[in-house]
A and B are shown apart, each in its own frame.
Chain A
Amino acid sequence: MKTPLISSWFGRAQLAAPPDIASATLRSDRFRLEREGEWRRLEAIINRMERGGLRRIADDDLLALPTLYRTAASSLAVARETSLDAATLAYLEALVQRAWFQVYGPRQGFARWMRDFLLGGWSRAVREIWLDICIALFVMISGTVVGWLLVAQNEEWYYRLVPGGLADNRVPGASREQLLATLGAEESAVGLSSFAAQLFSNNSAVSILAFALGFAFGIPSLMLLVHNTAMLGALLWLFASQGLLVDLAAWLSVHGTTELLGILLAGAAGLHIGRAMAFPGTRPVLDAAAEAGRRGAVVMVGVVIMMIIAAFLEAFPRQLVETTSSRFMIGGSMLIFWLSYFVLYRPRRIAESAG
């Protein structure tokens, strides 16, 4: 008779010296005892990999990993046909699965992925969703036009479209001087950096929402785009009514070229998912959604980066640079930079090496 607790202590002690192979009655147990050492070595390597990444592993072990994995996998295949030892089978299944996760696991860490992303992955993903970008652009332009027309017909619409917080002095009926004052520059940079941080949190939250809502077949994404650009249209109308359209455009263009492009991309990424789910083509819906989702996620990481840049542009140059021409210059060069990065920057894809 043996007590389970004590036996498990002794079981650990026996690890070093497995029982004599010849003493095993069963052929399947001899099979196991012959290969046990390799399984345990594989298990030790995987334990170390799971704990601390690749750096702690000796080169020998790392080189042996694929071989040991295949040995364990073939042991499992053989054991399934020859052995009825449930404990060994369960152990092998768990071992092969854990080894599989490591051998075919994420090949690159976050830092490495980020580098590939900046050097080509991002612009490639953006080009891949060109159709959705065109649709989203169309929706955004029509949203602006609708906002303008609505307010032009009835000024009441202005208060519905533009939230109260933004529209301090910028209301219909404000004088030219009041409006011009809202476009002015700040005296100093004090207070602007925390403004930038808030803008960033707010803008990236909106764009993540635009992306994530694509899940409902993309319709909420489009509605969010329409809502945001209708506000823009209302604002444009207000300033145009006082002949300040060019000044407003310059003021907006400093950060707007980056920010609106970011919102455009986020909406397009959401739409891409929605479209893939609504029209999966010959693929199963789940596969189509997953493929579109991964592509959209790449675009979204880029959008967050664009939002950081836009927030800084919005807080510093927009509030500090006064003249219309230099504002246009900053905004225009940002636009040219983004467009050339997305359209013209096409580095050769880094060859995928087999795992």
Chain B
Amino acid sequence: MTAAARAPITEKRARTLVTPEGIVLPITLASRGSRAGALILDVMIIMFGLLAFYLALVWIAGGLLDGTDLDPAAAPRGAQEFMQIVLALIGFFTWYGYFLVQELGPRGATLGKRITGIRVAARGGGRLTPEAVIARNLLRDIEVFYPLIALLVLAVMSETGEDSGPLGWVMTAWFALFLLFPFFNRDALRAGDIIAGTWVVERPRAKLADVLSTQGAAAARGASAVTGVRYAFGEAELAVYGERELQTLERMLRDAQPEALAAVHSTICRKIGWEPGAGDERAFLEAFYAQLRAKLEGDMRFGKRKADKFS
């Protein structure tokens, strides 16, 4: 259902990666939406983190003003100055350190990327190097934050009546150019990805599902738990379907509702010319699945593959 509806979009984002062992691995590029979401999350985390830190610092260093009638000018200069330096440097190192340290970690992702389930990888299956991570993060500044801050400054300036001329439009065009950059290439690369030779991919997550051919009517001597019948299908009956249908059936057996199974059951019965009964759909489908898979896998070993029911 959802998987089928999503298929065309994910296929567009599907890429392959060849490992040094020569195994071709499918990977999925991260969608632009999840990348934007990850960036927004990261910026919010940094902002709130710094804000909390500043507030804590004010709370601690607020004591500086005690005994001076709360006049900042009377506070000890050295301590005040130290605070200013700490704030400036911590701001700088948080901004760059946050991205660098996390993307160089074993997950290759910042907190925001982890939440949206994506990670950074080297394009073309190489090793992700520190240089690449540094390059892609330096570029982010001119892509998003430099024009954004410039626009804010211009907005404040125009509020106070200063005329900024065409500079505002130039900045907007700059911002739009880099923001739309990922929409104008196939791999959704932003400028920083191009410079660094990286791309952002979805982090694979798959649990090992149960073995189907050991359960219920699919097992070797398995019979229906309801009626005790052993379903057996002939060569002609198994020949109507291919691998695609087999894997759809597998998905249904793993997680579909009984009503959906009943619908599949009656469809298959009609197709192979059986009289569809009721009440024992699951056992029927399990047996059909096991025998169809045995046949198709047997053919596979002889180099004969049947992609779907039309081939």
Chain A residues at the B interface, C-beta cutoff of 8 Å = 1, 4, 11, 14, 18-20, 23-29, 32-33, 36, 39-40, 43, 49-50, 53, 70, 73-74, 76-77, 81-88, 90-91, 93-98, 100-102, 104-110, 113, 190-191, 193-194, 196-198, 200-201, 204, 208-209, 211-213, 215, 273, 286-287, 289-298, 300-301, 355
Assess whether B255 is in contact with A301, with CB atoms less than 8 Å apart: no
Task: Give Cα A251–Cα B20 distance, bound, in whole angstroms.
Answer: 57
Task: Give Cα A109–Cα B84 distance, bound, in whole angstroms.
Answer: 30
Assess whether B290 is in contact with A113, with CB atoms less than 8 Å apart: no
Q: Does B213 reach chain A (CB closer than 8 Å)?
A: yes
Task: Give Cα A106–Cα B135 distance, bound, in whole angstroms.
Answer: 15
Interface majority SS (helix, strand, loop, mixed), chain B: helix
Asked, given contacts A26-B293, A93-B25, A289-B195, whether A100 binds B211 with beta carbons under 8 Å apart, the answer is no
* Candidate in A53, A113, A293 with the most chain B CB atoms within 10 angstroms: A293
Task: Give Cα A53–Cα B116 distance, bound, in whole angstroms.
Answer: 21
Assess whether B195 is in contact with A208, with CB atoms less than 8 Å apart: no
* Candidate in B100, B131, B251 with the most chain A CB atoms within 10 angstroms: B131
12 residue pairs bridging A and B, Cβ less than 8 Å apart = A19-B214, A24-B220, A26-B290, A28-B297, A32-B211, A36-B208, A90-B206, A98-B204, A100-B25, A293-B132, A294-B132, A295-B131
Q: Does B42 reach chain A (CB closer than 8 Å)?
A: no
Q: Does B194 reach chain A (CB closer than 8 Å)?
A: yes
Assess whether B130 is in contact with A286, with CB atoms less than 8 Å apart: no
Assess whether B297 is in contact with A82, with CB atoms less than 8 Å apart: yes
Asked, given contacts A1-B282, A300-B138, whether A290 binds B212 with beta carbons under 8 Å apart, the answer is no
Assess whether B146 is in contact with A209, with CB atoms less than 8 Å apart: yes
Task: Give Cα A318–Cα B133 distance, bound, in whole angstroms.
Answer: 36
Task: Give Cα A85–Cα B212 distance, bound, in whole angstroms.
Answer: 9
Contact with A along B11-42 (1 / 0, CB 8 A): 00000010111010111000000000000000
Q: Which residues of B contact A40 (CB under 8 A)?
A: 208
Task: Give Cα A273–Cα B300 distance, bound, in whole angstroms.
Answer: 50
In the assembled complex, the CB of A13 is this many whole angstroms from the nearest CB of chain B, namely 11
Q: Which residues of B contact A73 (CB under 8 A)?
A: 19, 21, 23
Q: How many residues of B contact A (CB 8 A)?
A: 81
Q: Which residues of A contact B108 (CB under 8 A)?
A: 101, 105-106
Q: Does B123 reach chain A (CB closer than 8 Å)?
A: yes
| Residues 56 to 76 of chain B near chain A (Cβ within 8 Å) | none
Q: Does B235 reach chain A (CB closer than 8 Å)?
A: no
Assess whether B128 is in contact with A105, with CB atoms less than 8 Å apart: yes
Assess whether B92 is in contact with A201, with CB atoms less than 8 Å apart: yes
Task: Give Cα A190–Cα B75 distance, bound, in whole angstroms.
Answer: 13
Assess whether B92 is in contact with A204, with CB atoms less than 8 Å apart: yes
Q: Does B304 reach chain A (CB closer than 8 Å)?
A: no
Q: Which residues of B contact A81 (CB under 8 A)?
A: 300
Task: Give Cα A32–Cα B293 distance, bound, in whole angstroms.
Answer: 15
Name the CB-closest residue of B to A220: B142
Q: How many A-B residue pairs have CB under 8 A?
A: 224
Q: Given A24-B214, A93-B26, A208-B141, 17 more contacts at CB 8 Å?
A: A1-B258, A25-B219, A85-B293, A86-B250, A93-B204, A96-B19, A97-B25, A100-B19, A105-B106, A106-B128, A110-B104, A197-B88, A208-B142, A212-B138, A294-B197, A300-B135, A301-B134
In the assembled complex, the CB of B108 is this many whole angstroms from the nearest CB of chain A, namely 7
Give the 7 A-B CB pairs with smallest separation, nearest first: A290-B197, A293-B195, A94-B204, A297-B135, A294-B131, A87-B209, A94-B206
Asked, given contacts A73-B19, A93-B25, A286-B194, whether A106 binds B134 with beta carbons under 8 Å apart, the answer is no
Q: Does B270 reach chain A (CB closer than 8 Å)?
A: no
Task: Give Cα A197–Cα B92 distance, bound, in whole angstroms.
Answer: 10
Q: Does B200 reach chain A (CB closer than 8 Å)?
A: no
Contact for A91 among B146, B191, B208, CB less than 8 A = B208
Assess whether A197 is in contact with B206, with CB atoms less than 8 Å apart: no
Q: Does B121 reach chain A (CB closer than 8 Å)?
A: yes
In the assembled complex, the CB of A265 is this many whole angstroms from the nearest CB of chain B, namely 14
Name the CB-closest residue of B to A308: B89
Name the CB-closest residue of A to B292: A84
Contact for A23 among B21, B135, B220, CB less than 8 A = B220
Q: Which residues of B contact A105 (CB under 8 A)?
A: 106, 108, 127-128
Q: Which residues of B contact A104 (CB under 8 A)?
A: 19-20, 127
Task: Give Cα A39–Cα B207 distance, bound, in whole angstroms.
Answer: 11
Assess whether B81 is in contact with A191, with CB atoms less than 8 Å apart: yes
Contact with A along B264-277 (1 / 0, CB 8 A): 00000000000000
Task: Give Cα A134–Cα B204 distance, bound, in whole angstroms.
Answer: 46
Assess whether A110 is in contact with B195, with CB atoms less than 8 Å apart: no
Contact for B214 among A23, A107, A193, CB less than 8 A = A23
Contact with A along B213-227 (1 / 0, CB 8 A): 111001110100000
Q: Does B139 reach chain A (CB closer than 8 Å)?
A: yes
Assess whether B138 is in contact with A208, with CB atoms less than 8 Å apart: yes
Q: Which residues of A contact B121 (CB under 8 A)?
A: 101
Contact for B85 among A33, A113, A193, A298, CB less than 8 A = A193
Asked, given contacts A19-B211, A94-B204, A193-B81, whether A297 binds B197 with beta carbons under 8 Å apart, the answer is no
Asked, given contacts A26-B293, A84-B247, whether A213 binds B205 with beta carbons under 8 Å apart, the answer is no
